[in-house]
Amino acid sequence: MSRWYITVSIPYVNAAPHVGYALELIQADALARSHRHAGDEVRFLGGTDDHALKNVIAAEAAGLAPTELVATNGDRFLRLAEALGISFDDFIRTSSDVRHAPGVDRLWRRTAERGDFYRNFYEGQYCVGCEQFYAAGDLIDGCCPEHTTTTEWVSEENWFFRLSRYTEQIVEAITSGTMTIEPECYRNEALAFLASGVQDISVSRSQRRARGWGIAVPDDPDQVIYVWWDALANYVTALGYGTNDGAFQKWWLGTDERVHVIGKGILRFHAVYWPALLLSAGLPLPTRLYVHPYLTAEGVKISKSAGNGPDPAGLVDAYGADALRWWMCHEVPPSTDADFSVERLVARANEDLANGLGNLASRVAAMVIRFRGGAIPSPTRQMDAEQARLQQSVAALEQTVRQRIDAFDFRAAALSITDVVGSLNRYIERIRPWQLAREEKGQPPADPHELDQVLGLLAQIVGQVADAATPLIPEGAERLRQQIGGSGVDVPPTFPRLEVAAPKTT
């Protein structure tokens, strides 16, 4: 048994969550559930990033205080996680959680003790959406490459962090595998950035520009700590770093795997900036960064600012958590963006869940009820060669799914399940268990042991498939187990067919 500390990035809460963030939640939850099911010890953290300037701007536009806006929108992110069945063990809000500010203060002071801060005047193009300065060469037609919005020219004196001091150590951590980055293309991207010549970074903002919103720099109340430093610290402040070190000792210093699940747009912050901050503070690095691509709508990145994606909570209301979770796992490649639409969601759920896995369970349950009164028979004969092959393929399924999840390839994990389901449905069509019952008038009675052998094996296998599918679709997997559990009661289909509705957009 090993110990896994798994986190998702904490989102800005300037608006309601979009469906792209649901991808990250689902992938990280599948990873956490997979390891819990394997008997590993898991702590799974989510939260909200409250101290962004964009949150203040959104609050001003809405006529609200920042505290009110982040609380209201933070609740929406938490409700989305609950609707999707996300199994968080902890959830931190950086503006209100009493653990956070003391931990940020401690982290800052540890870095200051190392001599890694200095004051410097800075001016450059700043994107409020990214909360990041950009060099002129990084802009596209004068716009932020991430948000395609116009940047603003900012001039001020801030605290700077000696990021350049830690470049070689970070490269060594990545190339040696001390900190793995999956998929490989994002590892290569991080190494290319490090090779390009890393500059020191500004890690504070003036109180005036921050509108007084944020955590004050220790011993310099005219400055607030840069929101990314503040936000990244949540991974350790949620463990009591700076307040109560018990959980921090266990889950950061004493864990086997420290895992961050993030989107590709914030790779630099997690693969370069955060490791440098940890090295400066004398703390261990993350062991794994799992990086996912974006969801798009008609080829355009889905985002809160663009408002071009369906409301994920509305999707769950209309189609269920299983359908959305399954689409995210089956349809998103490891390293390329995936185009999302409601039509694709419904088509995939109907093909794989309703017609595939759900149909398999319904057929087996119906035959057990019809021919054995709902009591699952115990096989009494030795399996034939075909039955043995089926059982062997299913026996390895759960381990295969876990290995593919650990490789951060959810599409391969989902496909391994659909492959087995297809084999089982084909076996049923070929063996035709209902003919083994020989209920037809004038037919000789069947050998009951032959039917018991088939039904018992099929019921066992469906249960094993449900176990393998649990990390991806936990609610549906539980319904499958109940359906095939031998209650003798005919139940509705686990995965009914869906029809396209028109859920609201964010």
In a shared domain, residues 232 and 373: no
pLDDT band at 434 (very low <50, low <70, confident <90, very high): confident
Helices (H), 355-473: 359-372, 385-395, 397-406, 410-431, 433-437, 448-469
Assess if residue 216 is contained within a domain.
yes
Residue 301 domain flag: no
Domain match, 378 and 257 both: no
In 3D space, the residue among 339, 396, 338, 378 whose CA is nearest the CA of residue 459 turns out to be 378
- Verify that 124 and 36 share a domain, yes or no: yes
Q: Do the Cβ atoms of 19 and 302 come closer than 8 Å?
A: yes
Can you tell me the distance from the alpha carbon of 324 to that of 336, in angstroms, rounded to the nearest whole number? 19
What residue has token string 């004196």? 157
Order of strands across the sheet that contains 132-134? 132-134, 117-127, 152-161, 201-202
**Domain presence at residue 160:** yes
Q: Is the pLDDT of residue 444 over 70?
A: no
CA distance 172 to 362: 53
Rg of the chain, C-alpha, whole Å: 26
> What is the residue whose two structure tokens read 């876990």?
402
Higher pLDDT, 488 or 4: 4
What is the Cα 466 distance to its own chain's centre? 21
The CA-based angle 279-285-289, given to 5 degrees, is 135
Same domain, 264 and 321: no
> What pLDDT does residue 50 have?
96
Sign of CA dihedral 63, 68, 74, 75: negative
Handedness of CA 221, 127, 294, 298 (dihedral sign): positive
* Mean of pLDDT values over 382-402: 90
User: Which residues touch 421 (CB under 8 Å, ≥6 apart)?
Assistant: 352, 356, 357, 360, 465
The whole domain housing 145 covers 3-292
pLDDT band, residue 373 (cuts 50/70/90): confident
The helix-helix angle for 53-62 and 66-83 (nearest 10°) equals 100
Amino acid (1-letter code) at residue 62: A
What distance in Å separates the CA atoms of residue 124 and residue 133, rounded to the nearest whole number?
Answer: 6
8 Å CB contact between 410 and 490: no
Helix (H, G, I), strand (E, B) or coil at 42: strand
Q: Are residues 62 and 153 in the same domain?
A: yes
Asked if residue 385 and residue 260 are part of one domain, the reply reads no
Contact 324, 316 (CB under 8 A): yes
For residue 182, list its beta bridge partners.
Answer: 290
pLDDT classification of 146: cutoffs 50, 70, 90: low
Of the listed ranges 173-182, 219-228, 251-260, 427-436, the one predicted with least confidence: 427-436
Of 372, 393, 389, the closest CA to residue 487 belongs to: 372
pLDDT of residue 441: 52
In a domain, residue 357? The reply is yes
Task: Indicate whether 170 belongs to any domain.
Answer: yes
Q: Is 149 in the same domain as 199?
A: yes
More confident residue, 321 or 134: 321
Q: Name which of 179, 171, 230, 187 is nearest 12 in CA terms.
A: 230
Tell me, yes or no, whether 394 and 286 share the same domain. Answer: no
Q: How far apart are CA 230 and CA 233, in angstroms?
A: 5
* Percentage of residues in the chain having pLDDT higher than 90: 74
Instruction: Assess whether 199 and 253 both reside in one domain.
Output: yes
Q: Is 298 domain-assigned?
A: no
Question: Which residues, other chains included, contact 82 with Cβ-Cβ below 8 Å and sequence gap of 6+?
Answer: none
| Residues 272-313: tens digit of each pLDDT | 999 999 999 999 999 999 999 999 988 888 887 667 778 999
Shared-domain flag, residues 288 and 361: no
Q: Are residues 264 and 325 in the same domain?
A: no
pLDDT of 392 above 70: yes
On the question of a cis peptide bond just before residue 333, with omega within 30 degrees of 0, the verdict is no
pLDDT at residue 21, as a whole number: 93
Whether 499 is in a domain gets the answer no
Average pLDDT value for residue range 244-263 = 96
Sign of the CA dihedral 487, 492, 497, 503?
Answer: negative
**Inter-axis angle of helices 448-469 and 410-431, nearest 10:** 170
The distance from CA 393 to its chain's CA centroid, rounded to whole angstroms, is 28
343, 466 contact by CB (below 8 A): no
User: Which range, of 24-28, 93-97, 242-246, 266-270, averages the lowest pLDDT?
Assistant: 242-246
Distance separating alpha carbons of residues 36 and 402, to the nearest angstrom: 11
| Res 316 pLDDT > 90 | yes
- Under the banding of pLDDT at 50, 70 and 90, the label for residue 27 is very high
Length of the chain: 506
Average pLDDT over residues 445-458: 83
Is position 490 within any domain? no
In the chain, how many domains are there? 2
The model's pLDDT over 113-124, given as tens digits with 9 standing for 90+, comes to 999 999 998 776
Whether residue 435 has pLDDT greater than 90: no
- Asked whether residue 480 carries a pLDDT value surpassing 90, the answer given is yes
* pLDDT value for 381: 76
The CA-atom distances, in angstroms, between 316 and each of 15, 21, 83 are 19, 14, 7
Q: What value does the mean pLDDT of the chain take?
A: 91
Give the residue with greater pLDDT, 24 vs 444: 24
> Which residues, 6 or more positions from 352, have their beta carbon under 8 angstroms from its beta carbon?
326, 330, 414, 418, 421
CATH number for the domain harbouring residue 93: 3.40.50.620
Nearest to 143 by CA among 151, 155, 135: 151
* Domain co-membership, 320 together with 287: no
